[in-house]
Structure 1
Amino acid sequence: MKKNWIAVVLFSILALSGCGSSVESVKKTDGDVPVKKEEPVDTPEDAVDEPDEDVVYTIGDRITFDDQYALTIVSVKETEERNEFSEKEVEQVLLIEYLYENLRSEDEIYISDMEFKLVDEGGNMMDTYPVDSGFSPEHTPMGAKTLASFAVGTTEKSSKIEVHYYDNFFSSQSDCVFSLPIGSEAEVNLNGALPEYENTYSVGETIEITTEDGVYTVTIDSVEKTTERNEYEAKKPEAVYKIAYSYANVSMEEPVYISEYSFTLIDEQGNTGYVYPNFSDEYPSETIKGAKSNAVMFFGTHKDSGSLVLAFKDNMFNTNSDFYIRADNLN
């Protein structure tokens, strides 16, 4: 099962030290919390069931792992962009785009460039290259999917590359191998449905979070679509959402700080969104006990959506989100 390796290491450290963190969230406003049920995603009939060590896969092949999640490499494209500050000498810079879907895993799925090893046509190991590659991976709850990408450099001019994928970051044996022609691209299917989850709240409800270190509250005050765009941003989202939120430190001795990176946004087609760099002068603050803060964040989405879900983590290194907030009637 795919997990963030950093989270695994930190969990091990916490276990050895006898420290831990348990989070309980309750609504502080009136009314009942809507109960949502997590629904596993059906696997399409054309999906490759399980990785076969005797098969070499290519662009567009969708592979499922233990019926828990699916991985598709969508495209390999060459870019002329170079980083003037990088000392890496490369013949080509390639952008690798891939899609992963959490089908039935209760643990959130996170797949980054660290799960891949790449070889150019001359047999040289490839390394990541520091240019803007597009979309970053996101922690992906059950029923959601993430389109992500990363950049790599070749040592020798290549028309194709070999990619090894590791389900377990620490394994010495890859789980599947791809042969990917450079310049090839498959159609990306970003259609789907908005997942429903237990422990889901609504916009405007104040949520009290109880941890071993104390209590704080979080409220999503409003969610609205905005036409404002950043002219310097390369990503072209289908929609951008402005989200106002507030939080209060009830009894935590350490200051509470909640930013956009505490949240994962899911659009109504089940795609994770991404932080969008619009300007706001309402920034989150380190909030001492007895104080509160107001802030604004922006997310871009692959699909224009009338409904969204925000997944919240008390600790960004946790395996799963602690609760969810649903926003409706956004069109």
Structure 2
Amino acid sequence: MKKIIKIVLVLFVTLTLGACGSSEEKDTNKPTKTEEKKEEKIYTIGETVTYTKNSKDLIHFTVDSVRNTDDRNEFADSQPEQVIIIHYSYENIANEDDIYFSSINFKVIDEGGNVCETYPASINTYPQTAPIGTKSEGEEAYGLKQQSSKIKLIVELDYSGTKATYELPIQ
């Protein structure tokens, strides 16, 4: 009886160690996290991001300019170091739902790494909803916490969290 228990125990240990050994081999063949990540493209002024789903182009988005403004709002709660206006355009190529881009889709980061807020400066172009086959453009004003010669703009292209990153010089 003791021999049978020893044989069963040896088989159990052998199978258990064998299973552990094979999983370690699989782990060494896995790509590292840096290999798994695709290199993200960084866009700049005038470059168009095309949002594609199921191999179908749906939306074009472009930042046309980023400029300084001296416009200050005496009633604003914040006193930013610098106020900029971002001018952008977008086109609904084939998205079934109307598209609309505004500050809700944007995250602006100044050269100090500060995430910045919208600012109530005067703008001239207000975005509109765009059904299939139409275009629109808009402007958004932001107050930067630190004087900057460029900004980083992250644009959320859809509700699933697809994003595009821009590095934009301030004109």
Q: Is 1:61 aligned to 2:47, yes or no?
A: yes
Q: Give CA deviations for 1:204-241 in whole Å, capped at 9, x if unaligned.
A: xxxxxxxxxxxxxxxxxxxxxxxxxxxxxxxxxxxxxx
The residue aligned with 1:122 is 112
Q: 2:50 & 2:64 partners in 1: Cα distance?
A: 15
Q: Which has the higher contact order (CA 8 A, sep 6+)?
A: 2
Whether the 8 Å contact between 1:108 and 1:139 is mirrored in structure 2 is yes
The residue aligned with 1:165 is 155
Q: Which amino acid aligns with 1:58?
A: T
Q: Give CA deviations for 1:148-190 in whole Å, capped at 9, x if unaligned.
A: 111001111000000111123573xx5111000000xxxxxxx
Q: Which amino acid aligns with 1:89?
A: Q
Moved over 4 A (4+): none
Of 148, 167, 171, the residue aligned with 1:179 is 167
The residue aligned with 2:136 is 146
Find the structure with the greater CA-based Rg.
Answer: 2
Whether the 8 Å contact between 2:156 and 2:163 is mirrored in structure 1 is yes
The residue aligned with 1:86 is 76
Question: Partner of 2:104: helix, strand, or coil?
Answer: helix
Q: Give CA deviations for 1:278-298 in whole Å, capped at 9, x if unaligned.
A: xxxxxxxxxxxxxxxxxxxxx
Q: 1:53 & 1:113 partners in 2: Cα distance?
A: 26
Matching of residues 197-208 of structure 1 within 5 Å: none
Deviation of 1:69 (Å): 0.9
Whether the 8 Å contact between 1:53 and 1:175 is mirrored in structure 2 is no
Question: Partner of 2:157: helix, strand, or coil?
Answer: coil
Q: 1:159 & 1:148 partners in 2: Cα distance?
A: 22
Identity of aligned residues (%): 39
Stretches of structure 2 lacking an aligned partner (at least 5 in a row): 1-37
TM-score under structure 2 length normalisation? 0.72
* Structure with greater helix percent: 2
Q: 2:39 & 2:123 partners in 1: Cα distance?
A: 29
Deviation of 1:53 (Å): 5.1
Question: Partner of 1:94: helix, strand, or coil?
Answer: strand
Deviation of 1:147 (Å): 1.2
Deviation of 1:106 (Å): 2.3
Deviation of 1:125 (Å): 0.7
Superposition RMSD on alpha carbons, in Å? 1.5
Q: 1:107 & 1:54 partners in 2: Cα distance?
A: 27
Question: Partner of 1:86: helix, strand, or coil?
Answer: coil
The residue aligned with 2:89 is 99
Stretches of structure 1 lacking an aligned partner (at least 5 in a row): 1-51, 184-331
Whether the 8 Å contact between 1:115 and 1:169 is mirrored in structure 2 is no
Flag the 1:178–1:111 CA change in 2: closer, same or farther, 3 A. Answer: same
Q: 2:39 & 2:104 partners in 1: Cα distance?
A: 20
Whether the 8 Å contact between 2:49 and 2:164 is mirrored in structure 1 is no
Whether the 8 Å contact between 1:81 and 1:131 is mirrored in structure 2 is yes
Q: 1:57 & 1:99 partners in 2: Cα distance?
A: 14
Q: 2:159 & 2:152 partners in 1: Cα distance?
A: 18
- Size of the aligned set, in residue pairs, is 130
The residue aligned with 2:103 is 113
Matching of residues 3-22 of structure 1 within 5 Å: none
